[in-house]
Structure 1
Amino acid sequence: ANKNFKVYQKPSTDIQYLGMNGDKAPFDNLKVRQAFNYAIDKDAVLTVALNGYGEVASSIIPSTIFGHKDGPYTYDPKKAKALLKEANFNFNQTLKLWASGDTRKKIAEVVQANLQDLGIKADIEMFEWGAYLQATNSGNQQFFLLGWSSNPDPDSMLTPLFSKGSIGAQNRTRYVNEKVEKLLADGRVEMDQAKRQKIYNDLSDIVMADATWVPLYTGNNIVGANAKLQGVELSPQGLWNIEKLHY
Structure 2
Amino acid sequence: MPGEEGEEVAEEEPEMLLEPFDAPPLEEIDAKVKWVDQRVIDPIELLAKQLEKEPPLTDVETALQLKNNFPPNKENNDKILSALGRLPKSDQEVDYDATIVRHVGGDAKSTNPLMISSVTEFDVVGLMGIEIYGFDWNMDPLANSDYVVSWQTSEDGMYDKLVLRDDIYWSDGKKFTAQDVMFSFQVIMDPESRVPAVKQGTDKIRWVQAYDDQTVVYFHRESTPVNVWNINFPVIPKHVYEETIKEDPTMRLSDAHAKLESNPICGGAYKLVKHDRGQEIVLERREDFYMVDGKQVRRKPYFKTIRFRIIEDPNTAMLALKTGSIEEMAITADLWTTQANDDKFYEKNTKVTATEWVSFHICWNTKSPFFSDKRVRQAMSYAFDHQEMIDKLFSGLYEPAAGPFHPTSWMSPKPMPEPYQQDLDKAEELLDEAGWVDSDFDGIRDKEINGKRVRFEFSVTCPPSPIMERVARLLKRSLSKIGVACNIKLVEFTALQQMNLDGQFEATLGGWGTSTDPYSSENIFATGEGRNYGRYSNPEIDKLFDQGQKEFDREKRAEIYGEIHKILYEDQVYTWLFYRNSFYGFNKKLRGYRFSPRGPYNYSPGFNSIWAAQP
Cα pair distance change 1:15/1:212, threshold 3 Å: same
Residue 83, structure 1, aligned to residue 145, structure 2 = no
1:228 maps to what in 2? Answer: none
1:41-52 alignment runs, 5 A limit: 41-47=385-391, 49-52=393-396
CA spacing shift, 1:99–1:44, aligned 2, 3 Å? same
> What is the aligned-residue identity percentage?
25
In the alignment, which of 210, 230, 237 is matched to residue 598 of structure 2? 237
Of residues 187-196 and 6-15 in structure 1, the stretch that sits farther from structure 2 once superposed is 6-15
Question: What does 1:158-237 correspond to in 2, within 5 Å?
Answer: 158-166=521-529, 169-223=530-584, 234-237=595-598
Q: 2:373 aligns with which of 29, 32, 37?
A: 29
* 8 Å CA contact retained: 1:38, 1:73: no
Query: Could you list the per-position Cα deviations for residues 131-169 of structure 1 after superposition, in whole angstroms to 9, with x for gaps in the alignment?
Result: 11111222231111111111352223x212101242xx3
Asked if structure 1 preserves the Cα contact closer than 8 Å seen for 2:403 and 2:568, the reply is no
Contact 1:46 1:54 in 2 (8 A): yes
- Quick one: distance in 2 between partners of 1:212 and 1:133? 19
How far apart, CA to CA, are the structure 1 residues paired with 2:424 and 2:517? 34
TM-score, normalising length from structure 2? Answer: 0.35
TM-superposed CA distance for 1:95, in Å, is: 1.4
SS in 2 for 1:19: strand
Q: 2:358 aligns with which of 14, 17, 20?
A: 14
How much has 1:82 moved relative to structure 2?
A: 0.8
In structure 1, the partner of 2:462 is 99
Alignment of 1:117-128 (within 5 A): 117-128=481-492
Query: Counterpart in 2 of 1:129?
Result: 493
Larger CA deviation: 113-122 vs 87-96: 87-96
- Of 154, 157, 173, the residue aligned with 2:518 is 154
1:101 aligns to what SS in structure 2? coil
Q: Distance in 2 between matches of 1:216 and 1:118?
A: 19
User: Cα deviations across residues 68-113 of structure 1 (Å, max 9, x unaligned)?
Assistant: 1323552122211111111111515221111112221111011111
Q: Deviations over 1:7-32 (max 9, x none)?
A: 34333111101111111111011210
Matched, 1:74 2:432: no
C-alpha distance in 2, partners of 1:190/1:216?
Answer: 31
Counterpart code for 1:147: G
Q: 1:63 aligns to what?
A: 407
**Secondary structure at 2:576's aligned position in 1?**
strand
Moved more, 90-99 or 170-179: 90-99
**Structure 2: segments with no counterpart, 5+ residues:** 1-63, 69-76, 78-351, 438-444, 447-454, 587-592, 606-615
Contact 1:67 1:154 in 2 (8 A): yes
1:4 aligns with 2:368: no
Greater shift, 202-211 or 103-112, is seen at 202-211
Query: What TM-score, normalized to structure 1?
Result: 0.84
**Higher relative contact order (CA closer than 8 Å, sequence separation 6+):** 1
Instruction: Give, as a single letter, the amino acid of the residue that structure 2 aligns with 1:71.
Output: P
Please say if residues 60 and 213 of structure 1, whose CA atoms lie closer than 8 Å, have aligned partners that are also in contact. Answer: no
Deviation at 1:45, TM superposition (A): 2.5
CA–CA distance in 2 between the matches of 1:161 and 1:47? 29
Alpha-carbon contact 2:382-2:424 (below 8 Å) kept: yes
Q: Is the 8 A contact 1:37 1:73 kept in 2?
A: no
Q: Which is greater in Rg?
A: 2
In structure 2, what is the Cα distance between the partners aligned to 1:235 and 1:107? 27
Contact persistence 1:64–1:152 (CA under 8 A): no
**SS state of the match for residue 64, structure 1?**
coil
Distance 1:151 1:140, change over 3 A: closer
Q: Distance in 1 between matches of 2:372 and 2:557?
A: 31
Equivalent position to 1:109, from 467, 473, 476: 473
Q: Aligned pair in 2 of structure 1 residues 126, 233: CA closer, same or farther (>3 Å)?
A: closer
1:40 to 384, 402, 407: 384
Distance 1:101 1:224 in 2: 22
How far apart, in 1, do the equivalents of 2:381 and 2:542 lie? Answer: 23
Q: Which amino acid aligns with 2:372?
A: D
Task: Report which of the two has the higher share of helix.
Answer: 1
Q: How many residue pairs align between the two structures?
A: 233
> Deviation per CA, 1:154-210, whole angstroms, max 9, x where unpaired?
223x212101242xx311110111111111111122111121111011111221222
State whether residues 163 and 175 of structure 1, in contact with CA within 8 Å, keep that contact through their aligned partners in structure 2.
yes
| Superposition RMSD in Å | 2.6
Which residues of structure 1 form unaligned runs of 5+? 226-231, 243-247
Q: Which amino acid is 2:66 matched to?
A: N
